[in-house]
Chains A and B, each alone.
Chain A
Amino acid sequence: MIKLEPEILQAVEKPARYTGHELNAVHKDWDEVDCHFALAMADTYEVGMSNLGLKILYEVLNNRQDTACERVYAPWTDMEAIMRERSIPLFSLESFTEIKKFDFLGFTLQYEMIYSNILNMLDLAGIPIWAKDRNDEASFIVGGGPTVYNTEPIADFFDFFILGEGEEVISEVAETFVKWKREGKPGGRKGFLKEVAKLEGIYVPSFYNVKYNEKGYFSSIEPKEPEARAKIYKRVIKDLDSVHFVEKPVMPYIGIVHDRIMLELFRGCTRGCRFCQAGTSYRPIRERSREYLRGLARKLVDSSGYNEMSLTSLSSADYSCLGELVDDLFSDFEGEKVSFSLPSLRIDSFSIDLAHKLQQVRKSGLTFAPEAGTQRLRDVINKGVTEKNLMTAVEAAFKQGWKQVKLYFMMGLPTETDEDIVGIARLAEKVARKYKEVKGKWGVTVTISVSCFVPKPHTPFQWFGQLPKDEFERRQRLLKDSITERAVKFHYHDARVSVLEGAISRGDRRISQVIYQAWKDGAKFDGWTDLFKEDVWHEAFRKCGIDMKEYSERTRDFDEPLPWEHTTPGVSKDFLKREWNKAVAEQLTEDCRRGKCSGCGVCPSLKVDIVDWKRKEGEVKANV
């Protein structure tokens, strides 16, 4: 058991990050269980504690009699320095046990820029960084989460990955482990990996041979063990009412990023934005029932004491029974001073009315995501929103009393020209002027937040070469100079980070050397702008003899094998190609939720179907 001296805790920022003992944390007797699972996020306590996936898996695992699940997050740099100086190993927040004593250390892979932190945590735990160096005693390092659809850049650090939704498979993993352990661990470490590889959705990277061609490009990946599948499909929950959801969240003593209840209405989004990886990786739409959600809301308010609840999903306003659900919640929690919020709004008046109803008096600000500045480019990305939609929505919002609007855009999308960039400024200005028109006076703030587009695996833009950093920066300047209205404020992302993300997210196994080198040379918390060390990363690419631009800026051939195709969310390459062709032809694709199936391949290949409580029976069926 690790005990931190008062002088350590007095010396660090936010010491309660390291002291545990939160309400609803689960403490089990170490010797009473067979499987010890540490769930980790390679980011701060405040970020990690806000992650819904981890909350769910924590309960699923702890609901098993034979398993104890505990939490661990990345120590902040001040604490890390002390831990290294005093040789304090990474520890869990429940029993304060050394992490390397756990059977599993599972990382949620939220974004590429935390990879260096993963290595740092392994190192702090005293666990070998490379999977090949781990002996039979070492913990199994597991990864799962959003970036799992291209794990090659980190494949050599992990023992296995879980693709897709984890509620069922995480339990199967624990079960497989307990069985293997009780049988006396036949075959040692590899023996277990062979067993776990038999489960659907499990990818054991060491069971594959990777080849590259004479040009140095990835050419193939093939199983070398009989248990390894040639293609691994994600796991998907067919009926979300049938699996466990958070009921007793661990309650932090200090403020965290999302310090409120998160009620997940549904999974998936099939609006079909062509840049969006979440859109392809969480298909199809599966809604929870109104009754189930209502019951969950009650349990969560009672067990947490929170008075704020966020109705989360990729596009919450699309929940088919949202109006009714909100009415239910209003009546269930009448007099309890619980407030409800939607994390994102659709650009229409239904959303405005709803936001009005939810926010009642507090009109903090509305956020919309037109994503591109011109209709042409919005058609390219299949963002089915017109300028008219936006103007109608903001007009309604201004009439209801809102004074702040935030608009999200992306820069560097395929086919983008300077006209599209200037279009962002024009659109924002029109929104600002709409306020004047409605209210007869100025007084609005329109904030445009512009990120740099990073092409992602398993999207129709997966082949597209990302813009160079200088070009992003030129377009940022162009946009800045194009804004003439004082009411419009401009924020933009750091292009230096986006191009690195671009290289890593479409990287192959050779990128792991670069990540290792960068970490060795001091990279950590790369997602935190003030800690990001651009030169360390560039130097790491150079030291490894790898051209970063080959990964970020090179446009791939359609028929070129891609290093992420063997780990798939189920969308077919044909569908992605079709969508690319439609993108350049500026043609839209309908949402399959109510419209016709666009043949992405997910439903038939995973044997799932859409669950939408208001979709007329028999209207649309994917060819399951």
Chain B
Amino acid sequence: MYKYRAQLTKGDEIRYISHLDYAGVMERAIRRAKLPAAYTEGFNPHLKMSFASPLSLGVTSDAEYMDFELTKPLCQPEIFDKLSAALPPGIRLIKLKPVKEPKPCEGKKHKALMAEVEQGIYEVMAPLTGDWDAAVKAVEKYNGATEVNYHRVTPKKTRDIEVKQYMLEPVKIGMSGDLVKLTMNISITQTGSIKPAEILELLHNEYGLPVALGRALINRSKLMGQGKDLIDLV
């Protein structure tokens, strides 16, 4: 089997499709691309593919990663062109690399893509609804706090999450056109993480960040492991 890693986007056109739907869309794209894809065994064969950290509904991304396998080795440009041509609006292929499996004597195989993820960088854009100075102050106050709790309510359970343990860097604030731009560098661990939308909600509700929450747009710009972009880990 020949394994490849692709870095893909999730554009504005499809920001509201789920992670599962995104996987289905990619499966059909690979089929349209007529790549010699490898399938799972069993009654209901599926393409052998795996994804990195799932994205929340409504978030776009320049950093979606997918590992997939082919039964024949094709050269990188051929795969790149064929797959690019078969993608639907809203998904672009940014990079593609073969995954070099370590030789058996070198020890362990590559970790699963999902397990490699340690860090995500997100940008939040939202219209300013008040004073710029107040906005800067709100972010400073949040950054200065030692402990911040987020009350997460899901249909299944409700719990409090300590947020600061996941903040790898202070939240940065700037302006982009007439939108406030927040940059968040968040740690993603096997046991949990915090979502950028949740940080934004805290900033707005608890720290008085004057932005229009309902019009905020979030984009994931990077996903990293061991301090490197996931595409460079292969």
Contact = CB atoms under 8 A, between A and B. Distances in A.
A22 B30 CA distance: 16
Pick from A6, A9, A15, A306 the residue with the most CB of B within 10 Å: A6
A253 interface: yes
A19 B21 contact: no
B21 A362 contact: no
Interface in A329-364: 336-337, 361-362
B14 A16 contact: yes
Contact of B89 (A5, A23, A303, A307): A23
A306 B27 CA distance: 9
Contact of B21 (A6, A253, A306): A253
A360 to B, nearest CB: 8
A21 B17 contact: no
A304 interface: yes
A254 interface: yes
B14 A253 contact: yes
Contact of A23 (B18, B43, B44, B88): B88
A251 interface: yes
B57 A10 contact: yes
Interface string B201-226: 00000000000011111000000000
A255 B217 CA distance: 25
A612 to B, nearest CB: 34
Contacts of A307: 31
Interface in A1-27: 5-7, 9-10, 15-16, 19-23
A305 B29 contact: yes
A253 B88 contact: yes
A129 to B, nearest CB: 31
A5 B212 CA distance: 11
B1 to A, nearest CB: 16
Contact of B13 (A21, A306, A336, A362): A21
A303 B28 CA distance: 10
Nearest to B87: A23
Contact of A255 (B13, B21, B28, B214): B21
B2 interface: no
A20 B13 CA distance: 8
Contacts of A5: 214-215
B43 A251 contact: no
Contacts of B86: 305
B16 interface: yes
Nearest to A301: B31
A22 B88 contact: yes
Contacts of B39: 337
Interface residues of B, number: 31
Contact of A306 (B28, B43, B214): B28
Contacts of B14: 16, 19, 21, 253
Contacts of B27: 305
B24 interface: yes
Contacts of A291: none
A302 interface: yes
A73 to B, nearest CB: 16
B155 interface: no
Interface string B32-55: 101000010001110000000000
A406 B63 CA distance: 46
Contacts of A254: 17-18, 21
B171 interface: no
Q: How large is the interface on A (under 10, 10 to 19, 20 to 34, 35 or more residues)?
A: 20 to 34
B90 interface: yes
Nearest to B36: A335
Nearest to A20: B13
B58 interface: yes
A259 to B, nearest CB: 9
B25 interface: yes
Contacts of A305: 27-32, 86
B44 A10 contact: no
Contact of B25 (A6, A253, A303, A362): A253
Interface string A291-322: 00000000001111111000000000000000
B16 A19 contact: yes
Given A6-B214, A7-B213, A337-B39, A21 B89 contact: yes
Contacts of A16: 14, 16-17, 21
A6 B216 contact: yes
B28 A362 contact: no
A19 B13 contact: yes
A304 B17 contact: no
A254 B90 CA distance: 14
Pick from A23, A303, A361 the residue with the most CB of B within 10 Å: A23
A304 B58 contact: no
A7 B215 contact: yes
Interface string A437-459: 00000000000000000000000
A262 to B, nearest CB: 16
Interface string B105-139: 00000000000000000000000000000000000
A405 B29 CA distance: 35
Contacts of A7: 213-215
A253 B17 CA distance: 7
A6 B89 CA distance: 19
A362 B43 CA distance: 6
A304 B27 CA distance: 11
Nearest to A307: B31
Contacts of B89: 21-23
Pick from A5, A20, A336, A337 the residue with the most CB of B within 10 Å: A337
Nearest to B218: A6
Contact of B90 (A6, A15, A21): A21
Contacts of B58: 6, 9-10, 15
A254 B17 CA distance: 7
A303 B32 contact: yes
A246 to B, nearest CB: 16
B222 to A, nearest CB: 22
B32 to A, nearest CB: 4
A301 B32 CA distance: 8
30 contacts: A5-B215, A7-B214, A15-B16, A15-B58, A16-B16, A16-B17, A16-B21, A19-B13, A19-B15, A20-B13, A21-B13, A21-B89, A22-B89, A23-B88, A251-B88, A253-B14, A253-B88, A254-B17, A254-B18, A254-B21, A255-B21, A301-B31, A302-B32, A304-B32, A305-B30, A305-B32, A307-B31, A337-B39, A362-B43, A362-B44
Given A9-B16, A254-B18, 19 more contacts: A5-B215, A6-B215, A7-B213, A10-B57, A16-B21, A19-B15, A19-B16, A20-B13, A21-B88, A23-B88, A23-B89, A251-B25, A251-B28, A305-B28, A305-B29, A305-B86, A336-B31, A337-B39, A337-B45
9 tightest CB-CB pairs across the interface, nearest first?
Answer: A7-B214, A305-B28, A21-B13, A23-B88, A15-B16, A305-B32, A305-B31, A253-B17, A362-B43
Interface of B: 13-18, 21, 24-25, 27-32, 34, 39, 43-45, 57-58, 86, 88-90, 213-217
